[in-house]
């Protein structure tokens, strides 16, 4: 663990944990959530950051100053790191992390050509049924993960960049099959993340996507006293996405017309009808400004029977 290593981590918690464990090298924390909002292929460009700020401003009321302090300053620090012998990526198994990961690799492909890039990806751990985050790994486990980190080949880098390009395209239809074309990929959690992504397009049955259906199903099937308890239940059960409190707050807000109350949590008549596929909520939840990667969320429908996406043509 020499001083010539640059660690790019998935968040503040990982950075702090690695520093606490005395990992040597420089640290950059990738503070983004590219699994939500409009993305473009040119990671780090002025137009890329403009799209990202507009998303955070609109969806999460993030101020320009906070965006600069939290995300852009760290990105500029990354741009200044040019003399490292090895760049180690620290990411996790969920959708949130996997999309950030391929975006970072795309950036590295363009701006750090020829550098040694290695990957530490947490998830499966011997003796545990549950997938683990980096901060859930004990000292022995994290040392083992680091020791066994994967050196990415040029083919690996090209593949990650290719998936990123498809993720940012106007249509997710090619992505639907392309992620299956590299069975020996070192990115062992990327396929499941892309599958979770595909399920985020609205269903043909009731206009809600898989996670939105899970939210109202969780609300209906459990005796929950508050929105906080609903979010806590989702955080515990829906680990594939890697979402936090803020993301679930946002998603529940988009579904508020289906709820009678949040104290206690109770669906209204319309919510129960949507849950039972007796009512299609597509027209009422549809938004022209809602993007998943480069694709408009409501320009595609997921057919649960064929497990395929359909493009809506006007």
pTM score, whole prediction: 0.96
* Secondary structure of residue 63 in the 3-state scheme: coil
Q: Which residues, 6 or more positions from 107, have their beta carbon under 8 angstroms from its beta carbon?
A: 43, 44
Q: Is the peptide bond before 300 cis (omega within 30 degrees of 0)?
A: no
Q: Which residues pair with 291 in a beta bridge?
A: 296
* Secondary structure of residue 294 in the 3-state scheme: coil
d(CA 254, CA 211): 12
pLDDT of residue 220: 98
CB of 44 within 8 A of CB of 111? yes
The residue ranges of every structural domain in the chain are 5-191, 210-311
Here the tokens at position 118 are: 């290695």
| pLDDT by position in tens, the chain (length 314) | 445 999 999 999 999 999 999 999 999 999 999 999 999 999 999 999 999 999 999 999 999 999 999 999 999 999 999 999 999 999 999 999 999 999 999 999 999 999 999 999 999 998 888 899 999 999 999 999 999 999 999 999 999 999 999 999 999 999 998 877 787 899 999 999 999 999 999 999 999 999 999 999 999 999 999 999 999 999 999 989 999 999 999 999 999 999 999 999 999 999 999 999 999 999 999 999 999 999 999 999 999 999 999 999 86
- The answer to whether the Cα torsion of 8, 11, 16, 17 is positive or negative is negative
* Secondary structure of residue 278 in the 3-state scheme: coil
| Structure letter (DSSP) for residue 202 | P
d(CA 265, CA 260): 8
- CA-angle at 8, arms to 111 and 68, nearest 5°: 80
Q: Which fold has domain 5-191?
A: Dna Topoisomerase Vi A Subunit; Chain: A, domain 2 (3.40.1360)
d(CA 277, CA 206): 5
């Amino acid at each position: 663990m020499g001083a010539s290593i640059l660690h790019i981590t998935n968040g503040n918690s990982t950075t702090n944990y690695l520093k606490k464990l005395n990992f040597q090298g420089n640290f950059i924390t990738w503070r983004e959530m590219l699994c939500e909002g409009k993305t473009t292929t040119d990671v780090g460009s002025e137009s890329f950051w403009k799209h990202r700020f507009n998303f955070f401003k609109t969806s999460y009321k993030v101020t320009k100053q906070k965006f600069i302090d939290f995300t852009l300053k760290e990105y500029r620090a990354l741009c200044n790191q040019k003399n490292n012998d090895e760049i180690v990526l620290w990411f996790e198994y969920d959708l949130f992390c996997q999309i950030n990961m391929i975006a970072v690799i795309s950036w590295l492909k363009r701006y750090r050509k020829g550098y040694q890039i290695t990957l530490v990806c947490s998830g499966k751990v011997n003796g545990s049924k549950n997938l683990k985050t980096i901060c859930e790994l004990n000292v022995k486990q994290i040392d083992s993960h680091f020791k066994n980190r994967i050196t990415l080949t040029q083919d690996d880098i090209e593949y990650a960049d290719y998936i990123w390009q498809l993720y940012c395209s106007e249509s997710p239809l090619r992505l639907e099959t392309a992620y299956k074309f590299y069975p020996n990929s070192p990115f062992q959690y990327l396929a499941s993340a892309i599958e979770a992504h595909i399920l985020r397009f609205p269903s043909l049955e009731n206009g809600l996507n898989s996670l939105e259906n899970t939210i109202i199903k969780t609300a209906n099937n459990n005796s929950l006293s508050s929105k906080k308890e609903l979010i806590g239940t989702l955080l515990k059960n829906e680990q594939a996405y890697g979402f936090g409190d803020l993301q679930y707050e946002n998603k529940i807000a988009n579904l508020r017309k289906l709820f009678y109350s949040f104290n206690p949590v109770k669906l209204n008549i319309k919510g129960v009808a949507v849950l039972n596929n007796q009512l299609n909520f597509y027209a009422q939840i549809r938004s022209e400004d809602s993007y998943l990667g480069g694709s408009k969320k409501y320009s595609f429908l997921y057919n649960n029977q064929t497990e395929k996406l359909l493009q809506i043509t006007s």
